Amino acid sequence: MATKIRPLHDRVIVKRIEEDEKTKGGIIIPDTAKEKPQEGKVVAVGPGKYEDGKLVPLGVKSGDKILFGKYSGSEIKLDGEEHLIMREDDILGVIE
């Protein structure tokens, strides 16, 4: 059974998009030399945040491909897979 989780307020759950294990020139990069990718896919979004008593919805939605900061979010494990939970403010942009 898949774990269902709904983030609160202005938080989003992101699954990192893994980079290729080879460079364009064909050199294989070992796991120890790789940096964690800063791209991800939004899995779930919270309802939004309250400003001046009104609910402001988030600017991202499930399925969006995003860029985020190197040290953004907190790592969590859902159904044995690594995910990040972060605030919308940690998202740098949406890749279109």
pLDDT digits (tens, 9 = 90+) for 64-91: 899 988 888 888 888 888 888 999 888 8
Confidence at residue 6, expressed as pLDDT on a 0 to 100 scale: 84
Low-confidence spans in the chain with pLDDT less than 70: 1-3, 19-37
Confidence at residue 1, expressed as pLDDT on a 0 to 100 scale: 34
Confidence at residue 65, expressed as pLDDT on a 0 to 100 scale: 92
Confidence at residue 96, expressed as pLDDT on a 0 to 100 scale: 84
Confidence (pTM): 0.75
Residue 25 lies in a domain: no
Residue 4 lies in a domain: no
- Number of domains, the chain: 1
Residue 5 lies in a domain: no
Per-residue tokens: 92: 């740098």
Residue 63 lies in a domain: yes
Residue 42 lies in a domain: yes
- Burial profile 19-52: b = 16 or more Cβ within 10 angstroms, e = fewer: eeeeeeeeeeeeeeeeeeebebebbbbbeebeee
Residues paired with residue 14 on neighbouring β-strands, in sequence order? 42, 84
Residue 56 lies in a domain: yes
The CATH number of residue 71's host domain is 2.30.33.40
21 contacts: CB under 8 Å, gap ≥ 6? 28, 29
Residue 87 lies in a domain: yes
Domain residues for the domain of 46 are: 11-19+30-95
Residue 85 lies in a domain: yes
